[in-house]
Structure 1
Amino acid sequence: MLIREAAEQDWPRIYPFFSEIVAGGRTYAYPENLSSEEARGYWMKRPPGRTVVAVDGDAVLGSATMGPNRPGRGSHIATGSFMVDPHQQSRGVGRALGNDLLEWARAAGYHGIQFNAVVETNESAVHLWQSLGFRILTTVPEAFDHAEHGLVGLHVMFQRLK
C-alpha cells in the first residue's frame, strides 16, 4: 500500500465510496445525495490543505484530507478526515492514513491535531485514533443524527504534537 497526494484523476475512484459512506448515515454529517462535483468541493482540498489516497496498484483503498483546523490564529492546529472504502476495511488503510497525517502535520510545524466530530458509536475509529495517541477532550451530546441509533454524541479528539 502506498499513500500519495490525490490527483484529479483519483476523484472518480474516491467518489463511489465517499457516496456510500455518506449515504450510510453512520459517520459523516455531509449532506446526502451530493453530486460528484459537490462532493469534490468538500473532499479535494487546496493548499494549505491536502488530500491523499491510499493505493494498491490502480485501486484506491481510502482517502484522507488534512489542513488547518481553523484559519488565522487557529491555523497552528491541524485537522483531518478519513474514508476507507468499505470493501477494503481491515487492511490497515485507516492506520496508514492516520500515520501519514501525523507525519505531515509534524513536518509542517503544526502544534497539534484536532478532530472536531468523531461519531461516538464509530468504535473502530475511536479505538484507532486513541491507539495513535489522540484523546477524547469532550463529547457533544446528541450532535449527530445516526441512521440506526438516532441522536448520538460527537467526540472532539486531540493530540499535541509540540
Structure 2
Amino acid sequence: MARAQRSGFTAARSSRSVDELLGEVRARGHRMTPQRQLIFETVYTAKKHLTAEEIHERVRKRFRGVNLSTVYRNLDLLEDLGLICHAHLGHSVGQYHPTSGVEHQHLVCRVCGSIEEVGVQLMEPVRKQVLSRSGFEADLTHFAIFGICRRCRS
C-alpha cells in the first residue's frame, strides 16, 4: 500500500490571489512575516496535502533559520483565520491544505494513496442519522474515508 505518493490531490483553490489572502492576515491585525508568507505560499501552491514536517522541509530550503515550532504556530494562526485547514488522513499526523470555502470530505485510496475531496453533503445523511439516534452533533469533515479509487479498481 503506497503512502508517500499523493498524486490524486484535487483540492479546489480559492479564486483569490495569494496576495489578497495574505492581505486578509494583515487586515485582521497580524503581521506578515517572511516566514508566515512562505509557509502560506508553500501550503497554497502544493499539489498535495502536506504535513507540518513537509512544510518545514520546503520552507527551510528558502529560509534556513525557520524552525518546526514556528511552522506549527503559523499553521495554527492561518487555520484560525480560515486560510488553510488540516485533516487526519488515517493514523498519520495532520495534513494541511488551502481552504476552498466549501466544507469537504477526504476520500483516500488505500492502493495508490490518492486523495479526492468531495462535498460534505455526501455525509449529510450519516450526520442526520447520528443526530437523531444519539443527539450527537457530528463534525464529519475532520476525518478521511478509505477505500479504493476508480483508477485502482479498473
Judge same fold: TM > 0.5, yes or no. Answer: no
TM-score band, normalised by shorter chain: under 0.3
Q: Which has the larger radius of gyration?
A: 2
More strand by proportion, 1 or 2?
Answer: 1
Highest relative contact order (Cα 8 Å, sep 6+), 1 or 2?
2
Q: TM-score, normalising length from structure 1?
A: 0.27
More helix by proportion, 1 or 2?
Answer: 2
